Amino acid sequence: MPKLLQENKELQQENYFQLYRTMGNARSLRRLEEATGLSLTSLHRMSVKYGWQQRLNEEADRLASLVKAQYEEKEYSSAATRVSLADTIFKKLEDSVGDLSISSFKDAKTALEMYALLTGKPTAITQDVSSLPVETLTDEELEKLAALLVSD
């Protein structure tokens, strides 16, 4: 078979494969037969010869890897934002402990609660919200909260 004719057949095959691929989950050689007018036998031979199913599987694996990598990157970024936010909060608390002037029972209670927070002990505040997962905050909400804390 002349080289030009072979290249033309491979190009046609690639066009059929791309059409087959774009059919998504509803793809079948029968549907491709209806769409192209080629015989089911010819399409089946083409599919086997050029490894259509393997190509589809490889593409699905590649896409799954990309999605997983993007998810892991977002999770890492989100975790880094949370760590940064926690560092900012504790730094603010540490800095403000020296500025406290205790002139009432309420001030003493607040100072004790701040000390408990800084040392990692549970307080009435942390016990009330401990069941709320921090993960529910979006990155945007975390950034806004961090900006408020840093702006003081």
Domain layout of the chain by residue ranges:
3-50, 82-151
Q: Which amino acid is at 127?
A: Q
Q: Give per-residue pLDDT as tens, 98-137.
A: 665 666 667 677 777 777 766 667 666 555 544 545 566 6
Q: State the Cα–Cα distance between residues 97 and 120, nearest whole angstrom.
A: 15
Q: What is residue 152's predicted lDDT score, i.e. its pLDDT?
A: 47
Q: Do residues 18 and 36 touch, judged by C-beta distance below 8 A?
A: no
Q: What residues contact 31, with CB distance under 8 A and at least 6 apart? A: 23
Q: Give per-residue pLDDT as tens, 20-63.
A: 999 988 999 999 999 999 999 999 999 999 999 999 999 988 98
Q: Quote the pTM value.
A: 0.47
**What is the number of residues in the chain?**
152
**Section 69-80 average pLDDT:** 82
Q: What is residue 116's predicted lDDT score, i.e. its pLDDT?
A: 73
Q: What residues contact 47, with CB distance under 8 A and at least 6 apart? A: 20, 29, 53
Q: What is residue 5's predicted lDDT score, i.e. its pLDDT?
A: 59
**46-55, 69-78, 133-142: range with highest mean pLDDT:** 46-55
